[in-house]
């Protein structure tokens, strides 16, 4: 059953499932066209009119505008632009960071325990190893950490642990619990158990050994010393040599005594003790270590101060060990997940969490960041859904990302999705017109030129909806930055790199082998080196030129020698940092050259057939023919074209016919034509030629030997014998093995019985010549295919040359050396380059003049110059010290430029900087009195007019209908500057390396790059942008909205995956109608910008409040953007607050209402004489009101109002009736607006 039918048969057996219903609804697309620029220009034959955009490949039913936008080139350029630091950093800003205090210790491998602040100050630009937790192995591991940094100033919490240690972190920072779950610091409470980390120094009181006294580390397998831990981490498994010691330590740690441990392991105690002693342990020390708890307990969590907080990033594991616990390195939600899944149906929610978050399923906690980043870079993400055809009810088992440049989304002109296809030569529309993918047979699918996918097989994530340019594909975030990034790179190159030159005979590693730099052209492709990944990439040469004679210097190390002028930068490792240093500034014995190995491993097929192939019957076929009974052989022979030839072919041994005729005879007589022996026309000994299909080590060694001592003639291959009988016998056997027979022919001039061993075979000669053997020993070179072969093939090839022309020897330690001396300098250089590319040591090339004073048969041998190189099996170090830098005179030098953003290439086996500073044109365009925005658009039109045009391909030039071409004289290398009146439009030429000290232009292009990326420049730079028109908060809010839009596209793709999985699992659509999948908040930029915007709104509201132009209700709804209900409630609360304030003011002015000032019975009053009357009372102790006695009102206790209590007692709480007296009735304050309609626009 086909893949796509599994979505229909499980839940909805007798009616259309919801997916089919939606598909049927999509058929009602109406009369409109979703790609309006396409349909009006289509002719009846399916081609476009002259005003159109291109040509459809098949007809007017399907549209694929990939040819118009040149997708292949765009994706390649996106990958190149990733190496621009600004773009790469922008693409990685996805999630916010939770942070730790600067004094938090981090357990590193080589630096020991260092604080985050120290790492941020000293290791900000380096990578280093930290201890980390591996969730897959459920054990400690080592991981690479990078970018320790100061993040912000934030409020913190201080967590005290049971061992007396503490850590300070922000409330949202994640800490690993004992059960391997993450918890935020703000959620920790007393008694919580955390995952511990132990790195303990050896106990000198319990251990007197001197060996293996490395720190002790606690792992899930027991206690280990640090050296064992590192060795097992390198091997990625437990080593056999530690199995017994690990078992013994686990038993002792578990509480078993030494006697019981020895009994269970089947050895005596002394043997166990010797095992432990070998690894530096004792029984007492193990018991002391085992007493430590396998958890950390939280003692208390208290509030901390607002301090500077730090963070770092960790590859793969995303966590690190700090102090005695384990911290996360990135911000996630409170569950430790990057996705928030909400659904009322708990079963659906658990199913989605298992599919999307489980480590053995899609594992989006780890992979979502990469998916999002690649989507931002490419604009498209194509993911193939993997299910089991045997058990489709099991749902989705995984997704496989497909390269976007090879994927095609096929839609109709009405916008209906037909299918997806994958192919290097474009989509196969011919197969599509025959049958749809769901109706096609297996044979039709196999015959298609592209791989075809049903709609349900592919999940297509895409950014943007720019239908005119990129439809039906997405748009990369890098797309608007292509031009500015290219200009910025060229500007930086012209400012920094100029006339960086190397000697003409410098060997530059190319696509297939190497070339001298003086022989390179712009059609060549050279190797560039990425020291971050330790890999090489191919880069086209953009220019190559001779820069004349200059003073040059030799840079010499033990194995490398390179010559260049004093300003050429070379990649070195100085103070454990990779950096480019000019030759004149190199420091011998401090700077280390970086050796670059060639990791290419392409197999080379050995050719066998030359010309028209013939065939003959094998021995088995002839036996079958003779033993088989035929009713009438004569009638069968008559069916053959030539009866006589057919009879000879069937009955005569070794008789061959053309391959097509031989196959026809086999069909007539019922013989298996696949068993025919394929031979060359006229070949006699074809059955004796037994060559492998691909070059192996033996064949490569034979080829190398023939390069040194062999001769290839038209009818024969041979090699000269030597006094070494073992070598002669070895290669004689190889020739006999491959070509059936070999003969020895003695040399009559030799007194020692030497001669040559030969094989007479035209085919053998053709094979070696086809593989690159040219036969002239003074000019012969190592073929190009050898340089790209696997390392074992390259090594065997050079060993064959050494057997022929090398002087081999062994040192006392058994190391093999060989010195190869030849008169062919280029062959010696080939040998050195090939041997170094494997990663093995080779010395410098040496030359000497050889004076020959002997004659042979009256002929005097002339003097010659020989060249030699010494090779060995010692491994070439990754870096090696520069021994000296010496002046080497004056000679012609050359420079090249490469297109790679790595800005380097491999020369003489090491990495040197790119040479690049070509001339550029400066276009001064008069913009008159145009407004700024109009001048900018006018400049853009001028650039488009002179720089880039779309050209229609001629028929037969390929599948693409449209092509984007850069006009050579005005590419992005040029500069465009608008000028105002009193200046004329002109075009100047800017020579290379002019105005090197000016950086304003570079800053301009960099800011232009940030603008194109829609990224706030203040995030990555410290420049003051307050003077710009756009405020900081607006930029940050705009960036946050962009991140949210990207997340929405990713969320849609993830929801689609979950939807297909749930349908396969049999869930009805009604069960997950409310399913929501959200990515956690990416950044706090929105909160920061929102606070700033709110402050601005409040300031505006205060100004309007004083102007009396708006009511409170209008200010809350129109200015502060509150809803009407919120505004009504806020106004009511403000009135209540004012009443309470008024009440308090009355009570302050009349304290007697609270009994203040009236002393209790028997107590003295402040300010009165002892025993005297109160100054605030009348003569009889009554209140002095200042009125006649008859006018003093009688005190009447109010209803519900409490009276002052004696003895200074507190006033009781007011009753509800008392509160109600001071409250106002809350009405609809939306009715308090002015009744009269006022036009405020005129105010």
Q: How far apart are CA 819 and CA 1157, in angstroms?
A: 114
Cα 703 from Cα 797, distance rounded (Å): 7
CATH of the domain at 208: 1.10.10
Q: What CA–CA distance (Å, rounded) separates 114 from 107? A: 7
124 and 139 both lie in a single domain:
yes
Calculate ∠ Cα 1081-1084-1086, nearest 5°.
Answer: 90
In a domain? residue 1161:
no
In a domain, 669, yes or no: yes
Question: Does the pLDDT value for residue 948 go beyond 60?
Answer: no
Residue 96 has pLDDT above 70, yes or no: no
| 968 domain residue, yes or no | no
What is the per-residue pLDDT for 555? 94
Let me know if residue 467 belongs to a domain: yes
Are 1134 and 1222 in the same domain? Answer: yes
- Beta strand 806-810 with 816-822 is antiparallel
Give yes or no: residues 455 and 549 share one domain: no
Angle (CA) 1041-1047-1051 rounded to 5° is: 145
**1010-1056 pLDDT tens trace:** 666 666 655 554 444 443 434 444 555 566 667 777 888 888 999 99
Model confidence at 1068: pLDDT above 50: yes
Least confident of 32-36, 1020-1024, 1148-1152: 32-36
Give yes or no for a contact between 7 and 17, defined as CB atoms under 8 angstroms apart.
Answer: yes
Same domain assignment for residues 748 and 833: yes
Residues 325, 186: one domain? yes
3-state secondary structure (DSSP) of residue 209: coil
Burial class, 1202, CB count within 10 angstroms (exposed 0-12 / middle 13-18 / buried 19+): middle
Distance CA 1190, CA 303 (A): 64
Q: Does 835 lie in the same domain as 701?
A: yes
User: How sure is the predictor about 796, in pLDDT bands with cuts at 50, 70 and 90?
Assistant: very high
Give pLDDT tens digits for 294-305: 888 999 898 888
Closest CA to 344 of 1079, 1075, 1080, 1078: 1075
Q: Give me the pLDDT at residue 181, please.
A: 81
- d(Cα 38, Cα 64) in Å, to the nearest integer? 10
Pair 197, 320: CB distance under 8 Å = no
Task: Give the residue numbers spanning the domain of 272.
Answer: 202-215+222-290
> What span, in angstroms and rounded, lies between the C-alpha atoms of 253 and 236?
24
Average pLDDT rounded to a whole number, residues 695-699: 92
Whether 1128 and 1226 share a structural domain: yes
Sequence-distant (≥ 6) Cβ neighbours of residue 438 within 8 angstroms:
2, 4, 5, 454
The yes-or-no verdict on residue 1161 having pLDDT over 60 is no
What is the number of structural domains in the chain?
7
Domain C-terminal end among 686, 708, 726: 686
Average pLDDT (1131-1156) is 78
Instruction: Output the average pLDDT for the chain.
Output: 75
704/593 same-domain check: no
pLDDT at 468: 60
Residues 529, 1234: Cα–Cα separation, whole Å: 74
* Mean pLDDT, residues 140-150: 85
* Residue 258 pLDDT grade (very low, low, confident, very high; cuts 50, 70, 90): confident
Read off the pLDDT band of 290 (50, 70, 90).
Answer: confident
Note the pLDDT tens digit of each residue in 734-778.
Answer: 988 888 788 888 877 766 778 888 988 888 888 888 888 887 778
Phi, psi (deg, nearest 5) at residue 619: -60, -40
Assess if residue 245 is contained within a domain. yes
Q: With respect to residue 362, please indicate whether it lies within any of the assigned structural domains.
A: no
The confidence score (pLDDT) of residue 85 equals 59
Q: 245 and 103: one domain?
A: no
**Contact between 26 and 455 (Cβ < 8 Å):** no
Q: Which of 686, 716, 743 is the last residue of a domain?
A: 686
The per-residue pLDDT for 922 is 65
Q: Which of 806, 835, 852 is the last residue of a domain?
A: 852
Same domain assignment for residues 1119 and 1221: yes
Residues 318 and 329: their CA atoms lie apart, in Å, by: 6
Q: State mean pLDDT over 904-928.
A: 74
Note whether residue 1038 is domain-resident: no
Confidence of residue 84 (pLDDT cuts 50, 70, 90): low
Which tokens belong to 933? Answer: 């925005």
Give the pTM: 0.40
Phi-psi region of 543 (alpha: psi -120 to 50; beta: other; left: phi over 0): beta
Separation CA 924–CA 833 (nearest Å): 49
* Residue 1068 in domain: no
What are 622-679's pLDDT values in tens digits? 888 888 888 888 888 888 888 888 888 888 887 888 888 888 999 888 888 888 888 7
For residue 261, which phi and psi values (nearest 5 degrees)?
A: -60, -45
Write the burial class of residue 985 (CB in 10 Å: 0-12 exposed, 13-18 middle, 19+ buried): exposed
470 and 432 in one domain? yes
Q: What is the CATH number for 521?
A: 2.170.16.10
- Indicate if 461 and 512 belong to the same structural domain: no
Q: What's the average model confidence in pLDDT over 523-527?
A: 89
Q: How many residues does the chain have?
A: 1243
């Amino acid at each position: 059953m086909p893949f796509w039918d599994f979505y229909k048969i499980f839940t909805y057996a007798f009616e259309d499932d919801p997916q089919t219903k939606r598909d049927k609804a999509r058929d009602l697309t109406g009369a409109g066209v979703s790609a309006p620029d396409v349909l009006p220009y289509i002719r009846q034959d399916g081609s476009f009119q002259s005003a159109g955009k291109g040509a459809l490949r098949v007809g007017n039913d399907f549209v694929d505008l990939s040819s118009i936008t040149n997708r292949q080139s765009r994706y390649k350029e996106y990958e190149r632009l990733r190496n621009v630091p600004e773009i790469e950093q922008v693409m990685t800003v996805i999630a916010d960071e939770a942070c730790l205090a600067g004094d938090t210790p981090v357990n590193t491998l080589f630096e020991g325990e260092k604080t985050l602040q120290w790492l941020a100050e000293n290791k900000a630009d380096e990578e280093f190893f930290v201890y980390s937790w591996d969730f897959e192995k459920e054990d400690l591991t080592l991981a690479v950490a990078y970018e320790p940094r100061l993040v912000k100033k934030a409020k913190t919490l201080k967590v005290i642990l049971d061992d007396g240690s503490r850590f300070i972190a922000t409330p949202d920072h994640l800490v690993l619990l004992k059960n391997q779950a993450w918890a935020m610091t703000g959620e920790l409470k007393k008694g919580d158990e955390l995952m511990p980390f132990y790195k303990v120094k050896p106990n000198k009181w319990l251990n007197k050994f001197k060996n293996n006294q490395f720190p002790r580390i606690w792992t899930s397998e027991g206690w280990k010393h640090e050296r064992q831990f590192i060795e097992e981490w390198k091997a990625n498994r437990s080593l056999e040599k530690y199995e017994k010691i690990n078992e013994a330590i686990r038993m002792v740690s578990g509480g078993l005594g030494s006697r019981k441990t020895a009994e269970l392991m089947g050895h005596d105690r002394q043997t166990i003790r010797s095992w432990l002693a070998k690894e530096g342990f004792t029984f007492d020390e193990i018991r002391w270590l085992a007493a430590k708890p396998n958890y950390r307990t939280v003692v208390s969590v208290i509030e901390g101060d607002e301090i500077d907080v730090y963070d770092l990033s960790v590859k793969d594991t995303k966590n690190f060990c700090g102090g005695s616990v384990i911290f996360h390195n990135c911000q996630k939600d409170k569950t430790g997940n990057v996705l928030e899944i909400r659904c009322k149906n708990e079963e659906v929610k658990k199913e989605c969490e298992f599919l999307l978050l489980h480590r053995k399923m899609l594992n989006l906690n780890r992979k979502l960041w990469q998916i999002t980043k690649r989507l931002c870079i490419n604009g498209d993400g194509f993911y193939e859904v993997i299910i089991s055809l045997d058990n489709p009810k099991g749902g989705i088992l995984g997704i496989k990302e497909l390269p976007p440049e090879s994927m095609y989304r096929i839609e109709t002109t009405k916008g209906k999705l037909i299918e997806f296809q994958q192919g290097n030569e474009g989509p196969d529309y011919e197969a599509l017109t025959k049958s749809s993918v769901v109706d096609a047979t297996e044979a039709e699918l196999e015959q298609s030129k592209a791989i075809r996918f049903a709609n349900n097989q592919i999940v297509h994530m895409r950014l943007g909806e720019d239908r005119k340019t990129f439809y039906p594909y997405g748009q990369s975030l890098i797309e608007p930055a292509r031009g500015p990034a290219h200009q910025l790179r060229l500007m930086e190159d012209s400012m920094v790199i100029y006339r960086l030159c190397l000697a003409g005979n410098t060997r530059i590693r190319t696509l297939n082998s190497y070339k001298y730099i003086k022989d390179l052209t712009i059609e060549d492709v050279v190797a560039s080196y990425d020291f971050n990944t330790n890999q090489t990439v191919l880069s086209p040469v953009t220019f190559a030129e001779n820069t004349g004679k200059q003073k040059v210097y030799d840079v010499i190390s033990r194995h490398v020698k390179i010559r260049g002028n004093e300003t050429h930068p070379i990649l070195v490792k100085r103070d454990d940092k990779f950096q480019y240093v000019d030759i004149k500034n190199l420091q011998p014995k401090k700077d280390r050259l970086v050796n670059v190995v060639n990791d290419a491993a392409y197999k080379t097929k050995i050719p066998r057939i030359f010309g028209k192939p013939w065939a003959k019957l094998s021995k088995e076929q002839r036996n079958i023919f003779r033993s088989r009974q035929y009713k009438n052989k004569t009638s069968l022979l008559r069916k053959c074209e030539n009866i006589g030839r057919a009879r000879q072919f069937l009955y005569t041994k070794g008789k061959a016919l053309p391959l097509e005729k031989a196959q026809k005879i086999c069909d007539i007589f019922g013989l298996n034509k696949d068993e025919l022996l394929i031979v060359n026309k006229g070949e006699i000994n074809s059955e004796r030629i037994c060559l492998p299909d691909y070059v192996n080590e033996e064949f490569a060694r034979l080829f190398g030997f023939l390069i040194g001592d062999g001769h290839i003639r038209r009818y024969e291959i041979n090699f000269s014998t030597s006094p070494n009988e073992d070598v002669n016998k070895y290669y004689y056997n190889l020739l006999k093995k491959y070509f059936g027979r070999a003969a020895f022919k003695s040399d009559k001039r030799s007194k020692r019985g030497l001669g040559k061993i030969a094989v007479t075979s035209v085919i053998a000669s053709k094979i070696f010549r086809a593989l690159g053997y040219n036969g002239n020993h003074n000019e012969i070179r190592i073929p190009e295919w050898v340089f790209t072969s696997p390392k074992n093939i390259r090594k065997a090839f050079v060993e064959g040359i050494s057997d022929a022309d090398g002087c081999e020897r062994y040192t006392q330690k058994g190391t093999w050396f060989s010195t190869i001396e030849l008169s062919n300098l280029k062959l010696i250089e080939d040998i050195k380059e090939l041997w170094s590319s494997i990663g093995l040591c080779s010395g410098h090339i040496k030359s000497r003049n050889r004076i020959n004073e002997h004659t042979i048969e009256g002929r005097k041998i002339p003097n010659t110059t020989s060249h030699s190189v010494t090779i060995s099996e010692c491994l070439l170090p990754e870096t090696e010290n520069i021994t000296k830098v010496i002046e080497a005179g004056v000679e012609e030098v050359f420079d090249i430029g490469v297109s790679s953003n790595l800005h380097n290439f491999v020369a003489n086996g090491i990495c040197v900087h790119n040479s690049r500073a070509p001339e550029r044109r400066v276009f001064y365009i008069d913009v008159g009195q145009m407004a700024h925005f109009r001048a900018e658009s006018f400049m853009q039109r001028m650039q488009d007019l002179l720089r880039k045009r779309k050209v229609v391909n001629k028929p037969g030039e390929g599948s693409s209908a449209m092509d984007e071409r850069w006009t050579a004289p005005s590419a992005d290398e040029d500069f465009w500057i608008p000028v105002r009146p009193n200046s004329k439009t002109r075009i100047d030429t800017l020579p290379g390396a002019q105005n090197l000290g000016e950086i304003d232009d570079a800053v301009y292009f960099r800011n232009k790059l940030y603008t194109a990326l829609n990224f706030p420049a203040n995030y990555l730079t410290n420049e003051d942008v307050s003077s710009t028109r756009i405020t900081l908060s607006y930029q940050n809010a705009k960036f946050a909205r962009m991140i949210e839009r990207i997340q929405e596209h990713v969320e849609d793709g993830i929801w689609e995956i979950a939807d297909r999985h749930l349908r396969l699992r049999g869930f009805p659509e009604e069960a997950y109608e409310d399913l929501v999948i959200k990515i956690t908040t990416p950044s706090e930029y929105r909160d920061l910008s929102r606070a700033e915007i709110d402050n601005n709104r409040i300031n505006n509201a205060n100004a309007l409040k004083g102007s009396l132009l708006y009511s409170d209700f209008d200010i809350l709804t129109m200015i502060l953007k509150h809803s009407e209900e919120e505004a009504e409630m806020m106004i009511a609360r403000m009135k209540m607050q004012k009443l309470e304030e008024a009440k308090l003011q009355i009570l302050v002015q009349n304290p007697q209402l609270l009994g203040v000032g009236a002393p209790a019975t028997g107590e003295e009053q402040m300010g009165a004489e002892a025993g005297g009357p109160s100054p605030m009372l009348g003569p009889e102790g009554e209140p002095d009101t200042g009125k006649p006695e008859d006018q003093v009102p009688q005190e009447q206790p109010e209803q519900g109002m409490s009276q002052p209590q004696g003895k200074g007692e507190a006033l009781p709480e007011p009753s509800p009736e008392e509160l109600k007296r001071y409250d106002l009735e809350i009405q609809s304050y939306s009715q308090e607006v002015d009744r009269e309609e006022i036009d405020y626009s005129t105010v």
